[in-house]
Amino acid sequence: MHSDKTVFAQLMDFIPAHEFRRSVDRYQGDHKVSSFSCWDQFLCMALAQLTYRESLRDIETCLRALGHRLYHSGLRGHVSRSTLADANEAPDYRIYADLAQALIALARPLYAHEDFGVDLEQTVYALDCTTIDLCLSLFPWARYRAQNAAVKMPALLDLQGNLPVFLEVKPAKIHEIHTLDQLLPEPGSIYLLERAYLDFQRLYTLQQALAFFIVRSRKDFRFPRLGAPPVDKTTGLRCDPTIRLKSFYPAKFYPVPRRRLRYHDADTEKTLIFLTNNFLLPTLSIAPLYQCRWQVELFFKWVKQHLHIKKFYGLSPNAVKTQIWIAISGYVLLAIVRKRLRLKLNLYPMSQILSLTLFEKMPLLQAFSQINDSSELAPSGNQLNLFHL
C-alpha cells in the first residue's frame, strides 16, 4: 500500500540502502553528525535535481513550503540553506560516487540485452571526455586556461543501455589520455576510442589484457604492410592491410601487428582511418561499429541539457563533485525504475512527470500510467534521440 508514501519516497526505495550505509561508514560521512546526516543531504540534493531547483535558497523555500508532506517523503522539515551549504562541504564526495557505481551495477543486468544497432556477442564500450565550464572568479581552483575554469568528466559507456560503467570528475588540466591508466580492461570486450586516446603504449596494455580496441588514426605515421586482402571499394572501404609500426618508440611500445582500415564516408565525403587489434571482425562491420561511439557524445549532451550541473550549490571541489555524482545517481536511478516498472517512456519525460508529482500520494506506477505510451512523447524527426530509455 502507498497511501502514506509519496512518489518521492517510493522512488527513493529503489536506492540500495545497505550500499549507501556502507559508503557512509567507509568515508566516515556521519562522524560527529547529530542532526543532518548524509542521507538527509542526498534526499535534499536529489529533490533539487528532480524539481530543477536553482540555488540553496530555492531548495530551502521549496522544502518549507511542503510542510507536513516532508515527513511522508523521508525529508527533514525546516532545512536551512546554511545547513545545506555546510553539508555540501563536509562529507566526502566519494560517498555519492560509490552510490552511483552501486546503482550502475544494479542497472547493467537490466539492460544486458538492449540492442544498440550492431549484432555482436562481445560487450562494446565507448570512451570519451567532456568539459563542464565553470566561472573562474567563483571557482579559482579549477583554472583551465588564462581566463577559463572547468572540470573534465571522462566516461566509459556500455552501449547496451548507454550506461556509464566508469565515470570521473577531475581538473580540466589533466589530459584525458590518463583515463586509460585507470580502466580495468575486460577481456574479450571492444573499446571504441577517439583520436585523443591514440597512445601505443596504453593500447598495448589493452592488447595484453585480451581486450580489443578500435581507434581513429593519424595520417602522418609510417608503417610497412604485412599483407592486404582484396576489398570491394563500392562499399566505401579503401583498404584493410595488416601493418607494423616503423617509428622507433611506437614500434617499441606496440611490437605486434594490427589492422589499419581506410574508409570513405560518402555522406560526409570524409576519409576515416581506423586502427584495431581485432582480426576477427568482418571488414564491413568496423566502420558501422565505430559509428556507435557517437552514443557517448549524445550521453554527454543529455547530461548537460537535463541534469542540474550548470549551476552549482557550492563553490568547493567537494561541493561540485558531490552535485555531479548525485545528478548521475539520479540519472541511473530513473533508468532502473524504467526497467523495473516496464515503462515505455524515455528518461526525460519521466523526469518531467516526477518534477510535478513527487509529493503526490499515489503508487509510483500510476504517476506514469496515463502517458505510458512512447508514441505520445516521441521526439521530432530532426532531434537527436539518445535513449530509448
pLDDT value of position 379: 42
Same domain, 278 and 356: no
Best mean pLDDT range from 109-118, 233-242, 348-357, 372-381: 348-357
Q: What is the pLDDT of residues 329-382, one digit of tens each?
A: 999 999 999 999 999 888 889 999 998 888 888 899 988 886 654 444 344 444
Same domain, 316 and 277: no
Same domain, 57 and 16: yes
Same domain, 276 and 328: no
- For 62, residues 6+ apart whose C-beta sits below 8 A from its C-beta are 47, 51, 53
DSSP run (H or E) holding 329: helix 317-340
Same domain, 317 and 285: no
Distance CA 325, CA 328 (A): 5
| Beta-bridge mates of residue 249 | none
Considering the domain boundaries, does residue 119 fall inside one?
no
Same domain, 280 and 202: yes
Same domain, 285 and 314: no
Considering the domain boundaries, does residue 256 fall inside one?
yes
Instruction: Kindly calculate the radius of gyration of the chain based on its CA atoms and give it in whole angstroms.
Output: 23
pTM assigned to the model: 0.86
Which domain does 57 fall in, by range?
A: 7-95+306-369
Distance CA 272, CA 268 (A): 11
- For 239, residues 6+ apart whose C-beta sits below 8 A from its C-beta are 228, 231, 260, 261, 262
Number of domains in the chain: 2
pLDDT value of position 369: 83
- Pick the range with the lowest mean pLDDT from 250-254, 264-268, 329-333: 264-268
Q: Report percent pLDDT > 70 for the chain.
A: 93
pLDDT value of position 3: 58
Cβ–Cβ under 8 Å, residues 258 and 277: yes
Considering the domain boundaries, does residue 112 fall inside one?
no
Distance CA 366, CA 21 (A): 30
Helices of type H across 81-143: 81-89, 94-110
Same domain, 207 and 277: yes
Same domain, 250 and 337: no
Considering the domain boundaries, does residue 201 fall inside one?
yes
Same domain, 275 and 325: no
Considering the domain boundaries, does residue 65 fall inside one?
yes
For range 309-337, the mean pLDDT: 92
The three-point CA angle 338-68-358 to 5° equals 15
pLDDT value of position 377: 38
Considering the domain boundaries, does residue 240 fall inside one?
yes
For range 31-36, the mean pLDDT: 80
For range 121-146, the mean pLDDT: 90
Same domain, 312 and 284: no
Q: What is the pLDDT of residues 42-79, one digit of tens each?
A: 999 999 999 888 888 988 888 888 777 777 777 765 67
Using the 3D structure, point to which of 231, 264, 292 is the last residue of a domain: 292
- Check whether 328 has a pLDDT greater than 90: yes
- For 191, residues 6+ apart whose C-beta sits below 8 A from its C-beta are 125, 126, 127, 185, 206, 211, 212, 213, 214
Same domain, 319 and 268: no
Cα–Cα distances (Å) from 287 to 15, 159, 235, 320, in that order, read 39, 16, 11, 38
Q: Report percent pLDDT > 90 for the chain.
A: 41
Considering the domain boundaries, does residue 156 fall inside one?
no
All three cell numbers of 348, joined, read 526525460
Using the 3D structure, point to which of 241, 267, 292 is the last residue of a domain: 292
DSSP run (H or E) holding 115: none
All three cell numbers of 37, joined, read 546526516
Considering the domain boundaries, does residue 228 fall inside one?
yes
